[in-house]
Amino acid sequence: MRAGYFLIVLALLVFSACDGGDGSADAGTDGDSDTDGDSDTDSDSDSDSDSDTDSDSDSDSDGDPGCPPLDPPTGNIIDVTPSQVGDLQGIVAGASTGDTILLADGTYDLNGAYLWFDTPGVTLRSQSQNPDAVIIDGNYSTTEIVTVAASDVTIAEVTLQRAFTHPIHVTSSDLGDTANTLIYRINIIDPREQAIKINPHSTTAGFFAEDGEIACSSIILTDTGRPNVNTSASDGCYTGGVDAHQARGWLIRDNHIEGFWCPTGTAEHAVHMWRGCRDTIVERNVLINNTRGVGFGLSNSGTARLYSDDPCPEAGGAYIGHYDGVVRNNVIFADRTELFDSAAGFDCGVCLWSACGARAVHNTVASTGANFSSMEWRFAGSTSVEITNNIATHDLQERDGASATQTGNLEDALLTLFEDIGNWDLHLQSSATDAIDMGVAVEDGLCDYDMDGDPRDDQPDVGADEFTGS
Ligand SMILES: [Ca+2]
Ligand SMILES: [Ca+2]
């Protein structure tokens, strides 16, 4: 069993145990969720992480590095215990490059304090390496729990819950880009707004948040947290998973993102890269019961980052929401009646709007209820994409004259192709002859491995799983 497989199965088991379509959408409507501080928690699933590591070590771009615990800290270590929570904001502000702030197990009630990282090369992580055991609680009074405004900052192996706005905000500064942020093996629970916001500090300075990684993390909006979502901002459901503006070179891999929908209004995507993002790789994520799965771009006009090397000349100057990038080996699944019955429903699995040169390869998009589209590409002129070897239980859909090259996809697939959808196991069954060996060969390096880290064979299977008979 490979690392990725183990991780996904474990995540599926844990998450299904706590939220497996039990129909309790109204469980949290009493609004008291912020009084106790723990109820939600559950989650974490991937925390275990099992160290398996193995990970096949290949150096290919899409090889699976797994989710092992972070390497031991080096350099200066600042030990902090929950009793020091009142000093934590100052400890972060005063940290020097190379420092690691090592949090002992327990709950850190910030109660309005915030952690602002404006010195490069500072790390915040748990001593135990157990993300479930270190809870940084914003109690819906802290706005942004963590702000990253300097390069080479790492946030790892902790839980961030109940931010009034964003649990993590990565932003450039007036001094320059914020590069190489690493967000690794964390839990984010019940953000009131988008869980991880990434954007420029200034619209005029020309500095951006670049080359970050979000990996092996769990980002969940629970039924308890959903009634607390900011409904006064755009679309009446101002929340989502990862929301990046004008960011280049981000890797978003091996995360579990779940529950981003509202009864009314439209939640932002589980992973949304737009306003001129570029070269994003989104791979091996499991996205469960969200209004929208992966989005590259959104509108066809507005403020967007431009690039001097003109990476999409074929658009002739049209507004571009996202340049290039790859969406591969993701599992996007919906099975909650409450989501289907919500105002926005399950809207789209992979949503490419004003996306120039995006490639969606070997994803599995499945749903037990109707959606608007499993995958869609929208807006003429600005959107030209490749849709290859995906499996979808519903439609792959062109909108508004967008252009796509479609090869090797299986559309309107039956749910019976999958191993155990009740437990969110979207591996192929041995009987899935509509899918096994039915894809087309793709170029080396584009998708050499599947969601488990299994190598693709000469006759690739459609979807995220290469069936190996296990
Ligand atoms: Ca095959
Ligand atoms: Ca496999």
SS (H, E, C) the chain: CCHHHHHHHHHHHHHHHHHCCCCCCCCCCCCCHHHCCCCCCCCCHHHCCCCCCCCCCCCCCCCCCCCCCCCCCCCCEEEECHHHHHHHHHHHHHCCCCCEEEECCEEEECCCCCEEECCCCCEEEECCCCHHHEEEECCCCCCCCEEECCCCCEEECCEEECCCCCCEEEECECCECEECCEEECCEEECCCCCCEEEECCCCCCCCCEECCEEECCEEECCCCCHHHCCCCCHHHCCCCCEEEECCECCEEECCEEECCCCCCCCCCCCEEEECCEECCEEECCEEECCCEEEEECCCCCCCCCCCCCCCCHHHCCCCCCEECCEEECCEEEECCHHHHHCCCCEEEEEEEECEEEEEEECCEEEECCCEEEEEEEECCCCCEEEEECCEECCCEEEECCCEEEEECCECCCCHHHEEEHHHCEEEECCCCCCCCCCCCCCCCCCCCECCCCCECCCCCCCCCCCCCCC
How far away, in angstroms, is 299 Cα from ligand 1 center? 37
How far away, in angstroms, is 151 Cα from ligand 2 center? 36
How far away, in angstroms, is 67 Cα from ligand 2 center? 17
Nearest ligand to residue 458 Cα: 1
How far away, in angstroms, is 240 Cα from ligand 2 center? 29
How far away, in angstroms, is 145 Cα from ligand 1 center? 45
Query: Do you know the residue count of the chain?
Result: 470
Q: What is the pLDDT of residue 203?
A: 82
How far away, in angstroms, is 461 Cα from ligand 1 center? 5
How far away, in angstroms, is 355 Cα from ligand 2 center? 29
Nearest ligand to residue 466 Cα: 2
How far away, in angstroms, is 66 Cα from ligand 1 center? 22
How far away, in angstroms, is 451 Cα from ligand 1 center? 13
How far away, in angstroms, is 469 Cα from ligand 2 center? 8
Nearest ligand to residue 453 Cα: 2
Nearest ligand to residue 440 Cα: 1
How far away, in angstroms, is 115 Cα from ligand 2 center? 40
- Asked whether the beta carbons of 276 and 246 are under 8 A apart, the reply is yes
How far away, in angstroms, is 245 Cα from ligand 1 center? 37
Nearest ligand to residue 464 Cα: 2
How far away, in angstroms, is 330 Cα from ligand 1 center? 17
How far away, in angstroms, is 467 Cα from ligand 2 center? 5
How far away, in angstroms, is 457 Cα from ligand 1 center? 5
Nearest ligand to residue 451 Cα: 2
Stretches where the chain sits below pLDDT 70 are 1-63, 470
Q: What is the pLDDT of residue 62?
A: 60
How far away, in angstroms, is 56 Cα from ligand 1 center? 19
- Asked whether the beta carbons of 322 and 298 are under 8 A apart, the reply is no
How far away, in angstroms, is 427 Cα from ligand 2 center? 7
Q: What is the pLDDT of residue 21?
A: 29
Nearest ligand to residue 454 Cα: 2
How far away, in angstroms, is 430 Cα from ligand 1 center? 11
The CA R_g of the chain, rounded to the nearest whole Å, is: 21
- Quote the pTM value: 0.88
Q: What is the pLDDT of residue 47?
A: 35
How far away, in angstroms, is 274 Cα from ligand 1 center? 34
